Amino acid sequence: MSLNRNKIVHLEGFEKLPQLEFLTLENNLLTTITDKMFTGLWKIKSLNLKSNKIRMIETFLLGDIESANQTQLESVDLSHNWLVTITSKMFKGLWKIKYLNLKNKITTIESFSFGDLQLLKKLDLTHNELKTLQHNLFKTHPEDTKHPSNVELILSGNKLFCNGSLCWLRTAEIEGWVRWPYTEKYHFDTYSNRKVYKIPECNHRYRSWLDVHADPNCPMMGE
């Protein structure tokens, strides 16, 4: 079902469409995802909310943990909205998600936010305003040792600063469950007139940049 470009501000009633598999609400005027908005979409596989004005998801993306656990949702596009914080509950229970686009204005991602997304294959966090990433983003609790098996993590266009807090990314790359492109150690950014360090990465075929303004003593910078 496509409801693109309709100036929609709010909607409910999807519990009457339990067989709906694809829903696109691109380029509307949604500002809040309420707990009742998508309740009952048991068969939904793809949800496109791109280019709205979404600032808040009340609790869970699909309304409640029961809906999340039963849904077939595999792809979520929340890009080009106004989200600032990703909470640990937003994607709780959505364990079938494989593709998640969060290109917004995000400054904070809470611990354990992606812990249930064990089938995740691509996480797009480009062009947010992130300065760091918690080491436990892909955990469900502090002692959890599980993580997705092969995630393409795209972080270009952020303001990441590494003082050692991003070392877990390098470990994840070495262990083989996070991938990103090879980059040079640093380049000189003429726009900001400063040296931009880049995380040393393996030579995969993926080519998105991961810029990190770093403490030169950070162990991620290597030799």
Residue 127 lies in a domain: yes
Residue 23 lies in a domain: yes
pTM of the model as a whole: 0.83
**pLDDT recorded at residue 191:** 45
Domain boundary residue, one of 150, 180, 207 = 150
Sign of the Cα torsion 78, 79, 83, 89 reads positive
Give 110 or 12, the one with higher predicted confidence: 110
Asked if residue 103 and residue 35 are part of one domain, the reply reads yes
Domain that holds residue 6: 1-150
Asked if residue 40 and residue 13 are part of one domain, the reply reads yes
Q: 91: phi > 0 → left, psi -120 to 50 → alpha, else beta; which?
A: alpha
Q: Taking Cα atoms as reference points, which of 148, 136, 84 lies closest to residue 112?
A: 136
Query: pLDDT-derived band of residue 209, with 50, 70 and 90 as boundaries?
Result: very low
DSSP string computed for 81-127: S---EE-TTTTTT-TT--EEE--S---EE-TTTTTT-TT--EEE-TT
Torsion angle (degrees, nearest 10) of CA 180, 22, 20, 103: 50
Asked if residue 5 and residue 94 are part of one domain, the reply reads yes
Domains held by the chain: number: 2
Domain boundary residue, one of 90, 123, 150 = 150
- What are the phi and psi torsion angles at 150 (to 5°)? -160, 75
CATH of residue 78's domain is: 3.80.10.10
- In whole angstroms, what is the distance from residue 71 CA to residue 219 CA? 41
Asked if residue 170 and residue 105 are part of one domain, the reply reads no
Asked if residue 139 and residue 169 are part of one domain, the reply reads no
Give the tokens for residue 117.
Answer: 């997304």
* Sequence letter at residue 141: H
Of the chain, the percentage scoring pLDDT greater than 70 comes to 79
Residue 54 lies in a domain: yes
Domain boundary residue, one of 121, 150, 179 = 150
Residue 105 lies in a domain: yes
Query: pLDDT-derived band of residue 193, with 50, 70 and 90 as boundaries?
Result: very low
What is the β-pairing status of strands 211-214 and 75-77? unpaired
Asked if residue 134 and residue 27 are part of one domain, the reply reads yes
Q: Quick check: 45 and 72 in contact, CB under 8 A?
A: yes
Residue 26 lies in a domain: yes
Asked if residue 112 and residue 53 are part of one domain, the reply reads yes
Q: Quick check: 88 and 111 in contact, CB under 8 A?
A: yes
- In whole angstroms, what is the distance from residue 55 CA to residue 30 CA? 9
Query: pLDDT-derived band of residue 159, with 50, 70 and 90 as boundaries?
Result: confident
Asked if residue 174 and residue 142 are part of one domain, the reply reads no
Asked if residue 131 and residue 177 are part of one domain, the reply reads no
* CA 1 from centroid of its chain's CA atoms: 24
Residue 128 lies in a domain: yes
Asked if residue 165 and residue 144 are part of one domain, the reply reads no
Residue 135 lies in a domain: yes
- In whole angstroms, what is the distance from residue 220 CA to residue 141 CA? 25
Q: What is the mean pLDDT of residues 47-51?
A: 98
Asked if residue 99 and residue 36 are part of one domain, the reply reads yes
Could you say which DSSP state residue 128 is in?
S
Residue 155 lies in a domain: no
Asked if residue 170 and residue 141 are part of one domain, the reply reads no
